[in-house]
Amino acid sequence: MGTTATMLHVAGSKAMWAHVGDSRLYLLRRSSLQQITSDHTYVNTLLAMGSITPQEAENHPDRNKLLRAVGAEETLQVDTGSFQLEQGDIMLLCSDGLTNMVTEPAIQTVLEAKQCKNRAEALVECAKAAGGKDNISIIVVEYYEE
């Protein structure tokens, strides 16, 4: 057994992250949603090698088979990185309970909704409405300079 972990630390205008598994970190900047982390799954490896298409990946029987997870092995390889923040950046940390149920364009629409008071709650509701087949963990962080 193991678990996924995606972490974010903001210090001033710098964001630092660490990641293992298939939970994700996204950055929404100037109407462009970018996935920062890469899933540590068997299917993502096949996709990166060009062995399967994105459409085949969506319904692959092993799409949730993790290649890296916290607690699964004695040693752990953790991906890390950092980026400079800009005024108005929105960061999304989420489990695959969201990304397996809600498309990235739909996620972006919710994150950009200015009238939405609680974007994380709205995204949970979207995933539930789509079937909510897995746990749905979401954190939304907005960056504004002081």
Mind listing the pLDDT tens digit for each residue in 55-100?
Answer: 999 889 998 899 999 999 889 999 999 999 999 999 999 999 999 9
Map out the domains of the chain as residue ranges. Answer: 5-142
The secondary structure of residue 101, as a DSSP letter, is T
* pLDDT tens-place string over residues 124-137: 999 999 998 889 99
Instruction: Return the exposure string of 19-30: e unless at least 16 CB atoms fall within 10 Å of the residue's CB, then b.
Output: bbbbbbbbbbbe
Q: Rounded to an integer, what distance in angstroms lies between the CA atom of residue 84 and that of residue 12?
A: 9
CATH number for 5-142 (one of 1.10.10.10, 3.30.360.10, 3.40.50.20, 3.60.40.10): it is 3.60.40.10
Supply the angle between the helices 119-129 and 104-112 in degrees, to the nearest 10: 150
For residue 136, give the nearest of 127, 108, 36, 144 by alpha carbon: 127
Residue 4 pLDDT greater than 90, yes or no: yes
